[in-house]
Amino acid sequence: MSNPYEGDSNSQNTPGLTGTNSAGGIGVLGDSGQFEGVRGFSHNPSHAGVVGISDKSGGNGVYGTCDDGQGGAPGKGVWGLDTSNSGGIGVAGESKHGEGVRGVSHNPNHAGVVGINDGNGDAVYGTSTAGRGVVGHSDSFDGVWGETHNPNAAAVSGRNLNADGTINNAGLAGFFGGNVNVTGDITLTGGDCAENFNIAGAQQIEAGRVMVIDDTGALQQSEQAYDKRVAGVISGAGGYKAGIILDKQQSEVGRAPVALVGKVYCKVDASYEPVEVGDLLTTSPTTGHAMKASDSNRAFGSVIGKALAPLRDGQGLIPILVALQ
């Protein structure tokens, strides 16, 4: 039995072994009944053990196929394995103009690309400096599908982060361009249902202020007692923030979320009369402040809500339950 042919080169720019087929066939063929058909080694960390290049449009730099023709156990067309402790990559794909990695499956029961992580890391991770990190598209089913068997985890999660990694509460964690169907409960951490209103004179109004409707339909701070034009309280003061904000839109005039239902912190003036838990509140002569509605004849139509905490004297910020009536 003859020894296998070895190619050798003492020049960095000259390959140790080349194969050329002038008839359009295979340049180099490796065949083994028990082991790898072709194996490539590199002792240089900057270079690959095997490199495949195609200089023709539509060609493949490296092509792998697995088919025993008998329906046996599934193999791998291409297999990448990293056994180092330095966090290497099992399979890497890079492209200057097309996909870095593309996976295609013609079996309806299998995915084109599958990512598996049996530790605590991500099975699939996508990142982009300018475009979308991950895109899902389907002509007949869900574009993106998320599933979890952990009742304390979300099937799909989204975060909008600042440059320092903190949550950007002003940004969107999710956006839906169509209808949204929910079969379970929706949990909101905010305390009230608010709606954005135009503010008269495009003023910057402090959260917690009591607002009334002016003659133009915009809102302004309350300035008189038992005002039947009362609309609500500017949301966002104290420890509460809005759970839902309706009619949120871009506008050239100043707009602010006004709590219409739920819990909100409100500026109250108790110098007119002490406020106890459960007292009805109305507008007061103090700009943007509520007071106890002690005159039942004047209260109807001007009540803002009920006090959830006492304020026995002076001015202060207390939680109230908004219930316009």
Torsion (CA) 269, 274, 278, 282 in degrees, nearest 10: -40
pTM of the complete model beyond 0.75: no
Torsion (CA) 123, 128, 132, 138 in degrees, nearest 10: -40
- Whether the Cβ atoms of residue 225 and residue 273 lie closer than 8 Å to each other: no
Look at residue 305 and tell me if it is in a domain: yes
Range of the domain at 227: 192-323
- Whether the Cβ atoms of residue 17 and residue 27 lie closer than 8 Å to each other: no
Look at residue 317 and tell me if it is in a domain: yes
Torsion (CA) 101, 106, 108, 112 in degrees, nearest 10: -10
Token pair in block for residue 82 = 């990293």
Rounded Cα distance, 230 and 237, in Å: 18
Look at residue 176 and tell me if it is in a domain: no
Comparing C-alpha atoms, which of 237, 241, 238, 257 is closest to residue 249? Answer: 257
Q: What is the pLDDT along the chain (325 residues), one digit of tens a residue?
A: 455 667 777 777 777 777 788 787 887 787 777 777 777 877 777 777 777 777 777 677 777 777 665 666 666 777 777 777 776 777 778 777 778 788 888 888 877 888 888 877 887 888 888 888 888 888 888 888 888 899 888 888 888 999 999 989 778 888 888 999 988 888 878 888 889 999 887 678 899 999 999 998 899 999 999 999 999 999 999 988 888 888 888 776 788 999 999 999 999 999 999 999 999 999 999 999 999 999 999 999 999 999 999 999 999 999 999 988 7
Q: How crowded is the C-beta side of 138, counted as CA atoms within 13 Å? A: 10
* pLDDT score recorded for residue 1: 46
Look at residue 14 and tell me if it is in a domain: no
* pLDDT score recorded for residue 64: 75
Tally of domains in the chain: 1
Token pair in block for residue 229 = 């034009």
Burial class (CB in 10 A: 0-12, 13-18, 19+), 98: exposed
Positive or negative CA dihedral for 202, 203, 207, 212? negative
- Whether the Cβ atoms of residue 254 and residue 204 lie closer than 8 Å to each other: yes
Rounded Cα distance, 282 and 292, in Å: 6
Token pair in block for residue 282 = 């109305």
Rounded Cα distance, 68 and 7, in Å: 31
Look at residue 241 and tell me if it is in a domain: yes
Q: How far is CA 285 from CA 220, 226, 270, 303, in A?
A: 14, 9, 12, 14
Look at residue 242 and tell me if it is in a domain: yes
Q: Assign residue 259 the CATH number of its domain.
A: 2.40.300.10
Look at residue 267 and tell me if it is in a domain: yes
Look at residue 216 and tell me if it is in a domain: yes
